[in-house]
Chain A
Amino acid sequence: MIFSTVGSELPFNRLTEAVDKYAQANSDVVISAQVGRIGPGDYSPQYIQFKQLLTPGEYAEYVDRAIVIVAHAGMGSIISAITQKKPVVILPRRGHLQETRNDHQFSTAKQFESREGIFVAWEECELPARMEEALHFSQSGSMNGVSDFANQDLLKKLESFLRS
């Protein structure tokens, strides 16, 4: 199963539509999606199962069951995917399209692009190719996980401040 998430209550039509089109073209692939609070004018998927919102528990369950995650470039989505050793395809929300307040997701994507298991689609047309790469990667063996906690430097310095 591929799990697609817009990461918040705000819909992300470019992502949801691209994933829906992918499902239409690849009927053998099962995709479950979280699409946000869709309103009038928002894209409503035809070819995938979807929910508007998920509880944290449901979210964790979908991540657990998925072989690949597709998400906006939010840190919550990225961190939960890679800590669970799931390859993740990210499409950044853009500031000039009013998908976020500023272009921070674009900068985030640039910084994380080189990490193992992270595949960036800079535009929605690149999404199918990145999804194929991620699916291929998921079959190639296990992904190196990351620690459940922040790096030791940060933890040590914080701790010593909290002991002062």
Chain B
Amino acid sequence: MCKRKKRILAVSSSGGHWVQLMRLRPAWDHCEAIYLTTERDYEQEVKRYNQEHDLQPSAFYLTVVASRWQKIKLLRQLLDIFLVIVRVRPDYIVSTGAAPGYIALRLGKMMGAKTIWVDSIANVEELSLSGQKIRNNADVCLSQWPEVASGSENENGNSVKYWGRVL
């Protein structure tokens, strides 16, 4: 019997979040990877990695940049991400932040995907705001600092774990 590869949607905004997402790639080499971000030029980096590692080409989707104060752009982002998830039907969604990752995990969870949040290594003392908001919707919520993970127990029993660092 031929089993289809699991599909993973990897989501992040640009800059440090993306740099960290790229450092996690080997963890899903066995999956069909699809990327969603806010910067067109990042597609080259994805292509290069796939070629160098003999992997299938990855679908690559874009959405707009939006901060938490830009309501219209956030709506546009929500719609873009919703359409990607409907089209891709991912088995897993992984994100390193920020807003697009939060939205993708919320929507993905509702549509049956398993969700993984990797909080940025920049958040040394407490989980990011997005991380705090998403933790109850993430099947796995990781901090890259053991002290933050152990200090983040909450009443629902959704513990934040420490599995290691991107660096």
Binding site for B on A (CB under 8 A): 7-8, 55-57, 74-77, 79-80, 82, 104-105, 107-108, 110-111, 146, 148-159, 161-163
Q: Is the CB of A159 within 8 A of B123?
A: no
Given A153-B163, A154-B164, A162-B30: A76 touches B24 (CB 8 Å cut-off): no
* The one of A55, A107, A155 that contacts B27, using a Cβ cutoff of 8 Å: A155
Secondary structure call for the A interface: helix
- Neighbouring A residues of B16 by C-beta, 8 Å: 7, 74-77, 79
Q: In the complex where A57-B44, A155-B27, A159-B27 touch, is A110 in contact with B167 (Cβ < 8 A)?
A: no
**A56 engages B116 (CB within 8 Å):** no
A150 to B23, CA, bound (A): 5
A75-B25 Cα distance, complex, nearest whole Å:
17
Q: Say if the beta carbon of B18 comes within 8 Å of chain A.
A: yes
- Inter-subunit contact B165/A107 (CB<8 Å): no
Chain B interface residue count: which class? 35 or more
Residue B35 CB within 8 A of the other chain: no
Contact at A158–B163, with CB atoms within 8 Å? Answer: yes
- A91→B124 CA distance, assembly (Å): 17
Q: Let me know if B121 is at the binding interface, CB within 8 A.
A: yes
A154 and B161 CA atoms in complex are apart in Å by 11
User: What are 11 A-B pairs at a CB distance below 8 A?
Assistant: A76-B17, A79-B167, A82-B167, A107-B125, A149-B23, A151-B167, A152-B164, A154-B24, A154-B142, A155-B26, A163-B30
Contact B6 A151 (CB under 8 A): no
Chain A residues whose CB sits within 8 angstroms of the CB of B8 once the complex forms: 162
Complex interface: chain B residues within 8 A of A150 (CB): 23-24, 26-27, 164-167
Say yes or no for B61: interface residue by CB 8 A criterion: no
Residues of B within 8 A of A7 (CB): 15-16
Closest 9 CB pairs of A and B: A154-B164, A76-B16, A75-B16, A158-B27, A153-B164, A107-B124, A150-B166, A76-B15, A157-B163
Distance of A108 Cα from B122 Cα, bound (Å): 5
B31 close to A146 (CB less than 8 A): no
Chain A hits for B120, CB < 8 A: 75
